[in-house]
Amino acid sequence: MLFKSVLVSSVLKNQLISLVKENRISHAQLFLSQAGTHSFALAVAYAQYICCQDRKEDDSCGVCPSCIKFEKLAHPDLHLIFPNCITKIVKKDPDSRQFAQEFRDFVFAKNYHIDMEDWLSELGGENKQATINIRDCSNIIQQNSIQSYEGGYKIFIFWGLDKLYHAAAPKLLKTLEEPEKNTLFILLTENQDKILSTILSRTQLVKIPPLSSDTIAQQLVTDFGISSQKATDIAEISEGNYVKAISLHENSNELREMLKKFETLFSSMSALKNYAIAQASVQQVNYLSVQDTIASIVDLGREEQKNFLRFVARMIRNILMLGSKNENLVKATTDEKKTMGFFTKVITLKNAQPILNECNDALFHIERNGNSVLVFTDFYLKVSKLMLKL
């Protein structure tokens, strides 16, 4: 992985390059990012640059034997550690080494835009507790005691450090504090609060900023050849998360369907208040349409039901911002913004928070396997009542 292929700020790339040039490489570095950044790619590019046999001014050469091995994630001095669990194939005592090829294939398939949920799905371990376990830590200690194969740095990249099993963490502390010469630990996490303070105190923090909407939009056009308008719309609601942006692109039809369902439910609620709905392009609907919409939401399954409630919550917040003349704070697609304009008079400071509370309550009950039809019917009636009080 070359630095030029990593989707992070050029400032951060240059900082890491300077550390290598000035021989100021800290032996343990914690890369802190939010979800959907290219943090794993950055860690690999950094490691590749350190080991490159013919470094350029601003990147690895990409053609030396070391770089070629890194491109395949097969360099003998590169050790990848990541959450793992028992699967149908590995039924006992799992560790990262047993899933090395599966993880490499996963990384390449995702073009380094990797996400923990996707990895667990790849493993077939969505309902299991994946961890970096004691066996992983023992393997690291063993590898650390062995001289590097090619005479340079030994580099350990931990992806998902917050999944480090707490009972395993103490085994690593001494190694992190006093590693062998020319050993580098790159620890990646999106949840600093879940990292033990004893580990935090032994690392140098490197913060990876979220991606800008413009960067995400440009990358979507490059990767998928979509129109600039569609890319901009997706980037606006991706919250700096490129993995989420990819998912929104791949599921754009589902996003449009959620917007239609929102329009149906909330147009009906608005009509109950006897607002002049005719002046909006969203047509008045009857309760039979509401029942059909609720049934269609229920048929989607619980994960999509939760996604719809999160979508509603985002729409409510944006409508409130739009009605408060804070358009610059609205993060929505062009179609969503058109729909939001129809509801600024019925969703205001007086009822927005209670409506959001109802969203959270409905989400709570769906997560706990409540009857979905009853949950969404109750949600519709309660929100309608909140609008009637306006």
Q: What is the pLDDT of residues 164-200, one digit of tens each?
A: 988 888 888 888 888 888 999 999 999 888 888 888 9
Which residue, among 358, 325, 343, 324, has the nearest Cα to 390 in the 3D structure? 343
Confidence (pTM)? 0.78
CA torsion sign for 107, 248, 324, 213 is: positive
Res 26: pLDDT: 92
- For residues 290 and 272, what is the distance between their CA atoms, to the nearest angstrom? 12
Quickly state the pLDDT bin for 146 (edges 50, 70, 90): confident
User: pLDDT tens, 32-58?
Assistant: 998 889 999 999 999 999 999 999 999
How many whole angstroms separate alpha carbon 160 and alpha carbon 162?
5
User: What is the tens place of the pLDDT at every residue in 326-358?
Assistant: 888 888 888 898 999 889 888 888 899 999 999
Report the percentage of the chain scoring pLDDT > 70.
95
Q: What is the pLDDT of residues 366-389, one digit of tens each?
A: 989 899 999 999 999 999 888 877
Question: What value does the mean pLDDT take over residues 88-113?
Answer: 93
Q: Are 155 and 50 in contact (CB under 8 A)?
A: yes
pLDDT value for 274: 52
Residue 22 in this model has a pLDDT that exceeds 90: yes
Radius of gyration of the chain (CA): 25
Looking at the domain 3-210, which fold is it? Rossmann fold (3.40.50)
Reported confidence tier of residue 279, pLDDT bands at 50, 70, 90: very low
Phi, psi (rounded to 5 degrees) for 184: -125, 130
CA 338 to chain centre: 27
Sorting pLDDT into bands at 50, 70 and 90, what band is 77? very high
